[in-house]
A and B are shown apart, each in its own frame.
Chain A
Amino acid sequence: MKNMKRSVINLRNFFLVLKSDVRLLIGVSILIVFIILGFILCHFSPYDPKRWGQVPRDVPPCWSYPLGTTSLGQDLFWLLTFALQNSLVLGITVAAVSTFTGVTLGLLAGYRGGYLDEITTFLSDVFIAIPSFPILVMLAALFLGRIHILMLALVLCLFNWPWPAKQVRSMMLSLRERVFIETAIFSGFGTIEIIFREIIPLISPWIFANFINTVLVAIGAEAGLATIGVSSLEEITLGTMIFWALRYQAMFMGHWWWIAVPVVTIIVLFIALFLIYLSISEIFSIGGFKK
């Protein structure tokens, strides 16, 4: 009961914050539109997105095909909804798994110390030092453009957990010295209780900002791999949309709408995610950003 009350208050606070910060409002609204497009509207698609020749080829945007059609006979609007869904699922999965892993390890390492701390710090330092992109390209290239999207997500997680782990650990170290934690320990709270009731609420804005940033990084990494043709090319993502448009020379054949749709969507989506990240960071003074 008590917990429920707390979350209601948080939700109301969230709307208040949303109203006061224009940039956050813009970011969240754009994200909501994309989520509706990708997760609700795509179920109303009249065509199977993976099949070709469903609609006339190379039609510029018009009333019946609002975003035009591709040279393969796909309706770009419905294609886009599926691409958004896959890209967002990938981004959110990677962000959720790597943030969860990183935060858990960081909390344990910072709180417990000892061997666990040494190992976590060491591993995260090593993973931060290794450049992920060349390894991703190599892995994806070995699968000849048929890497499973889950496999890709897994590898992206491998390279995205160290940063939250490192940051949460150092936050934990400084929080552990505070008086209220000592009070909690002397009041007989257990480790788990302290972490969940005292620490998590304090670092949750940081966790959320990191989550949003990782969504952006993951979608961007997949799209980058797809651009050179080494992602999961059978799946429809924002990146593979760009790949096929480039492959069929959409730009130079004058089919600008084919390449413009994924490009503009990626830009708008990324700016929206970044606006959310930036305004959360500013509201809670994370990473040197201040309001």
Chain B
Amino acid sequence: MGDTKLWGINSLRAFVKYLVRRIVLYVIALWAGLTICFFLPRLVPIDPVTVILSRVTATGAFIDPETYANMRKTLLYLFGLEGSIQEQYFNFLSKAIVGDFGVSITVYPSKVNDLIAKALPWTIGLLATMALISWVIGNIVGLLAGYYKNKIMAKAVQIFAIAVYPIPYYVLAIIFVFVFCYLLRIFPLFGSKGVGFKVSFSLDFISSVIFHSFLPALTLFIVNLGWWILSMRALTINLSEEDYVKFAEMRGTEKKIILNKYIFRNALLPQITQLTMAISTIFSGAVLTEFIFSYPGLGQLLWMAVSSSDIYLLMGITSLSIISVTTSALIVDLVYPLLDPRVRYEERHV
């Protein structure tokens, strides 16, 4: 036994095949998503150049034709509308990969990148923390609820999970706003930090951020928790009926060891795969939750883009969402073989 067997020639081949397949899939999904992103706005007749130029001419200022032509040229360049559609397309793709999405129409001439860069840390901070915390806690609670499935507490947990999981994020967010901000008036209605706070590492600032993002975080936490409890419980129940667990119980192995080493570790693997599938849902849920709480993340930015039909901001946010969701799914899938030895020497379909 040992590493020589795990990493034999055949297993290595299977592993490389798994990696190559996964990466090819990633590249193609990324390309397809960005392509949709590029061609969709070109199906609607909104011309950003005309929008901005008409904003200037609407002030009544006199512009001589030469200046006008120059402005038009500059705008065409800024929005990447020069040349044939193929040139524009390759231009867009090459810029999108390095994260350059042009300029915004509404807050012209701010760069879309800068706007997103300001919003992104808030979203990632909220989303990543809550997704991880709820995954960990959900798995632990689900494990206990599955192993002691006949206890009253376990049944209560199950009912809670069933009642909470199907509720959409934005609906729960509305309920929280109503109860905590309107009825009880405990939490602030909007923002991510108190008015006038500068980003710093002071205690005041951090506590203000936690206070302001408590409700959005709670929303993400509770809805996510429901699914992790349900799936972990089902996995645990299936595993605890396996022969090796029954045998360990009869042999008198400590419950703690059975729970931790015999069941939890095995059940965790499918849960990691589930996390890849869930990333996209969690992301869209987080965006909607941010919108309801006026939290200054991507959700708020998306709302701004949508309500003023700022196509370039919209394209930027959409491309970025596609890139980040597919990439994080790829990362989880690439880490997976390190955790699950079976993938290393068996052929596994991605």
Interface check B322, CB cutoff 8 A: yes
**Residue A267, interface by CB 8 Å:** yes
Q: Are A266 and B168 in contact (CB under 8 A)?
A: yes
Please give the distance in Å from A227's CB to the nearest CB on chain B: 5
**Interface code A247-272, partner B: CB below 8 Å = 1, 0 otherwise?**
00001100010010001001100110
B238 within 8 A of A: yes
A130-B33, A135-B36, A266-B168 known; A142-B44 Cβ under 8 A: yes
A139 contacts the other chain (Cβ, under 8 Å)? yes
Indicate whether A274 reaches chain B with its CB closer than 8 angstroms. Answer: yes
With A141-B306, A227-B288 in contact, is A131–B325 under 8 Å at CB?
yes
Nearest to B319 among chain A residues (CB) is A134
Q: Is the CB of A143 within 8 A of B44?
A: yes
User: Do residues A242 and B174 form an inter-chain contact, with CB atoms below 8 A?
Assistant: yes
A246→B175 CA distance, assembly (Å): 12
Question: What CA separation (Å) do A132 and B326 show in the bound complex?
Answer: 11
Answer yes or no: A38 CB below 8 A from chain B CBs: no
Within 8 A of B (CB), among A117-146: 125-126, 128-135, 137-139, 141-144
Docked complex Cα distance between A259 and B171 (Å): 10
Residues in A with CB closer than 8 Å to B280 are 131-133
Find out whether the CB atom of A216 lies under 8 angstroms from the CB atom of B166.
yes
Contact (Cβ within 8 A) A134 B292: no
| Contact (Cβ within 8 A) B182 A251 | yes
A131-B283, A288-B238, A289-B234 known; A138 and B165 CB under 8 Å?
no
How many whole Å from B183's CB to the nearest CB in chain A? 9
In the complex, what's the smallest C-beta–C-beta distance from B193 to chain A, in angstroms? 22
Render B150-179 as a binary contact track against A, CB cut-off 8 A, 1 for contact.
000000000000110111111100110110
Q: Tell me, yes or no, whether A76 is within 8 Å of chain B by CB.
A: no
> What are the interface flags for B307-325 relative to A under an 8 Å C-beta threshold, 1 for contact and 0 otherwise?
1010100110110011001
Determine the distance from Cα of A256 to Cα of B165 in the docked complex, in whole angstroms: 24
A228 at the interface (CB under 8 A from B): yes
Is A125 in contact with B25, judged by CB distance below 8 angstroms? yes
Contact of A142 among B167, B288, B309 (CB under 8 A): B309
Residues of the B chain whose Cβ atoms lie less than 8 Å from the Cβ of A143: 44
Which residues of chain B have C-beta atoms less than 8 A from A270's C-beta? Answer: 166-168
Does A106 touch B at the CB level, under 8 Å? no
Q: Within 8 Å CB of B33, what residues of A?
A: 130-131, 135
A residues less than 8 Å from B311 (CB atoms) = 142
Measured CA separation A213–B329 after assembly (Å): 23
Determine if B284 is an interface residue (Cβ-Cβ < 8 Å).
yes
B43 close to chain A: CB less than 8 A = yes
Residues from chain B with Cβ under 8 Å of A267 in the complex? 166-167, 171
**Quick one: CB contact mask for B31-74 with A, threshold 8 Å, 1 for yes?**
01100110011011010000000000000000000000000000
Q: Is the Cβ of B326 less than 8 Å from the Cβ of A129?
A: yes
What's the Cα separation between A242 and B291 when bound, in Å? 14
Q: Which residues of B are found within 8 Å of A251, using beta-carbon distances?
A: 174, 177-178, 182
Q: Which residue of A lies closest to B303 (CB)?
A: A228
Question: Which residues of chain B are within 8 angstroms of A228 by Cβ–Cβ distance?
Answer: 288, 291, 302-303, 306
Contact of B314 (CB < 8 Å), options: A133, A138, A266, A271: A138
Residues of A within 8 A of B291 (CB): 227-228
Which chain B residue shows the least CB distance to A291? B237
Chain B residues with CB below 8 A from A138, complex form: 37, 40-41, 314-315, 318
A126 proximity list for chain B (CB < 8 A) = 25, 28-29, 32
In the assembled complex, which residues on chain B have CB atoms less than 8 Å from the CB atom of A256?
178
- Nearest CB in chain A to that of B311: its residue: A142
A107 within 8 A of B: no
Per-residue contact bits, chain A 268-291, to B (CB 8 Å; 1 contact, 0 not): 001101110010000000011110
Question: Would you list which residues of chain A between 123 and 181 have a CB under 8 Å from chain B?
Answer: 125-126, 128-135, 137-139, 141-144, 170
Which one, B25, B41, B182, B306, contacts A137 given CB within 8 A? Answer: B306
A43 CB, nearest partner CB in chain B, Å? 28
B309 interface neighbour in A134, A141, A246, A266, Cβ under 8 Å = A141
Q: Which residue of A lies closest to B175 (CB)?
A: A263
User: Hey, what's the 0/1 contact readout for A221-232 against B, CB within 8 Å counting as 1?
Assistant: 001100111100
Kindly state the separation between the CA atoms of A170 and B26 in the bound complex, as whole angstroms: 21
Interface: B287 (CB within 8 A): yes
Q: CB distance A133 to B283 under 8 Å?
A: yes
**Nearest opposing residue in chain B for A126, CB measure:** B29
In the complex, residue of chain A having the shortest beta-carbon distance to the beta carbon of B28? A126
Q: A135-B37, A138-B41, A290-B234 provided; 15 other pairs, C-beta below 8 A?
A: A126-B32, A130-B29, A132-B280, A138-B314, A141-B309, A224-B170, A228-B302, A251-B177, A266-B167, A267-B167, A271-B163, A287-B234, A288-B235, A288-B238, A290-B238
- Give 14 CB contacts A-B under 8 Å: A126-B25, A126-B32, A131-B33, A132-B280, A142-B40, A143-B44, A242-B171, A251-B174, A259-B178, A263-B171, A266-B168, A274-B162, A287-B234, A289-B234
Chain A residues within 8 Å of B, Cβ to Cβ: 23, 125-126, 128-135, 137-139, 141-144, 170, 216, 220, 223-224, 227-230, 242, 246, 251-252, 256, 259, 263, 266-267, 270-271, 273-275, 278, 287-290
Give me the 10 closest cross-chain CB pairs, A-B, nearest first: A133-B284, A129-B29, A274-B166, A270-B166, A134-B321, A131-B280, A131-B325, A134-B318, A141-B306, A130-B33
